[in-house]
Structure 1
Amino acid sequence: MGHYSLFQMWEPHRQSLIKGHLFYVEQARKRLLSQFNDIEGEADKAAESWLDANKTRFDPDFHDPGDFYESARDEGIEFYQLLYEMRDRTRLSVVAGMYHEWDKHLRKWLTDEIRHWHSGEAVSGKVWTVDFGKLADLMDSLGWRVRDQAYFLKLDACRLVVNVYKHGKGNSFDELKEKYPEYLPDLLSKISEDFLGLGYLDYTHLVVSESQLQGFSDAIVAFWKNVPKDILDHEDLEMPDWFARAISVDQQTASHQQGGLNP
């Protein structure tokens, strides 16, 4: 096929993808995450509200004021903890949303470009269902060495974080714990070194900080910026086995259909 272009990234489309992603992150911060900017203040107000709601129950002849203030303090602490956990879950939801959008845009771009030089549903179906590692194999085989790029590890970590957030315990959790333990902070190790290496951590310890969210966002932008304008066919091109098999299936299907039309 010579130097036929297999994949092309139209510059306005690239900029549209980046702009859409940045808009999502900006608005998620403004409309969702900003609501958790003053957790301590809101916890104090919850304690004050408890005191106000229960003041009619206070009888100085029978009650110790210290007990009431302690109960209000407990109410504030519980409110703080619940709001803190909600903030962490909201941030994870934001991460999951931006990852899934990036993933869908990538697969759509790949299948749209493939349709310019290949027809058949097997290839398209595979591109939409294989994991990110297999897509990386495809891109590497085309000469676009995504695994060598700084953003790859961030995207790989983001994939695992999203899977653990969605599914909890499983292979993704084990892989995340082994490769990227920074997303499973060991809080007890900060209290005592005796907790180090006990392996007690589970999926409930999953946390993404604001800076880690930004790191994921930066990786997505870097990925889109790194997409080659043109990915050309070349003589020594060797597609991954899963892609080659899907092409073969489409070719056999087309051959059978053509054979069925002959008298």
Structure 2
Amino acid sequence: MAYVLFHMWEPFRKQIIASHNFYVEQAHKRLLSQFQNMEAEADKYGEEWLNSHSHNFDPDRHDPANFYEQAYDESIAFYQMLDDMLNRTRLSVVAGIFHEWDKQLRGWILTEINHWHHGDEIRKVIWKANFGDIIDFMEAFDWSIRSRSYYTSLDKCRLVVNAYKHGNGNALESIKTQHPEFIETFGNTDFFYLKYADHTHLKVDGAHITEFSDAIIEFWKDVPEYIHEKESLNVPDWFAKAYGKDKADKSKKVELHD
């Protein structure tokens, strides 16, 4: 039988999915649930503003309508700040689940590699490789990740997280052209509005969190239990070079000891 290069131990698979589910559930319970009554909170804020400024009202000089209008404006501004905080909280939750998935995947890859290869270069390149590099590496072992339904959602999640982290960069531009649903347009569908939108217009909703979370779960479920060595193995150049350097370094150490 062919040598096993990667093994997804079933208890580990279940544990990693359970950990992910716990994070998402608690994020909803302890963070996102705090924003359920924003309209009522904004109305209350407007009333409190009106009460706290009532001592400034002079019936001989002021029109009561102006005070009520100002209170309304204050409540709208408060609601907008809450809505912005909700969006940033959602983005933080998305970043949390993506980064944890990414680290767990790389950690699992290295744990399995350590069963048949030891070397600092491999460890460095696995942690340094970008998202596409890691997918390329795993697909070299006949696991067709890009053909799976969850891949598109994972890639969208990556772009959203990168845009949230880096602001007006390449990820945001990709979102605007490929996934404009993550850009808040306030009902304006004009092309030029979308073109000149910046990172402050990046927005996710609850359905997006569910989509990304489901994609991560499906990914872990899809990891083959066993990935075997094969004759025609064509790994990416960055991995092959690091592997070769580790082998060369090991040979030098053996020669020195001899």
> Normalized against structure 1, the TM-score is what?
0.95
Partner of 1:51: 50
Partner of 2:4: 5
Structure 1 position 240 matched with structure 2 position 236: yes
Instruction: Render the CA deviation track for 1:15-72: whole Å, top value 9, x for unaligned.
Output: 0000000100000001000111111110000000001101111121221110110110
Structure 1 position 145 matched with structure 2 position 141: no
Partner of 2:177: 178
Aligned amino acid, residue 92 of structure 1: L
Partner SS, residue 59 of structure 2: coil
What is the deviation of 1:187?
2.5
Partner SS, residue 238 of structure 2: helix
Aligned amino acid, residue 19 of structure 1: A
Percentage of pairs with the same residue: 49
Could you list the runs of 5+ residues in structure 2 that have no partner in the other structure? Answer: none
Partner of 2:191: 196
Structure 1 position 255 matched with structure 2 position 254: no
Partner of 2:93: 94
Structure 1 stretch displaced more, 53-62 or 29-38: 53-62
Aligned amino acid, residue 247 of structure 1: Y
What is the deviation of 1:129?
1.0
Partner SS, residue 187 of structure 1: coil
Aligned amino acid, residue 185 of structure 1: E
Whole-Å separation in 1 of the counterparts to 2:149 and 2:66: 56
Partner of 1:208: 204
Alignment RMSD (CA, Å) = 1.1
What is the deviation of 1:207?
0.5
What is the deviation of 1:188?
4.5
Could you list the runs of 5+ residues in structure 1 that have no partner in the other structure? Answer: none
Whole-Å separation in 2 of the counterparts to 1:187 and 1:196: 13
What is the deviation of 1:197?
4.2
What is the deviation of 1:215?
0.2
Structure 1 position 42 matched with structure 2 position 41: yes
Aligned counterpart for 1:221 among listed residues 208, 217, 220: 217
Structure 1 stretch displaced more, 87-96 or 235-244: 235-244
Whole-Å separation in 2 of the counterparts to 1:77 and 1:177: 28
Whole-Å separation in 2 of the counterparts to 1:186 and 1:51: 32
Whole-Å separation in 2 of the counterparts to 1:69 and 1:177: 40
Whole-Å separation in 2 of the counterparts to 1:112 and 1:169: 36
Partner of 1:63: 62
Whole-Å separation in 2 of the counterparts to 1:176 and 1:253: 43
What is the deviation of 1:124?
1.2
What is the deviation of 1:186?
2.6
Aligned amino acid, residue 191 of structure 2: L
Partner SS, residue 188 of structure 2: helix
Partner of 1:121: 120
Aligned residues: 257
Whole-Å separation in 1 of the counterparts to 2:92 and 2:45: 26
After TM superposition, the runs of 4+ consecutive aligned structure 1 residues lying more than 3 A away are none
Instruction: Render the CA deviation track for 1:181-217: whole Å, top value 9, x for unaligned.
Output: 2212332525xxxx23451122211101110110000
Partner SS, residue 6 of structure 1: strand
Whole-Å separation in 1 of the counterparts to 2:94 and 2:150: 16
Whole-Å separation in 2 of the counterparts to 1:233 and 1:177: 41
Partner SS, residue 228 of structure 1: coil
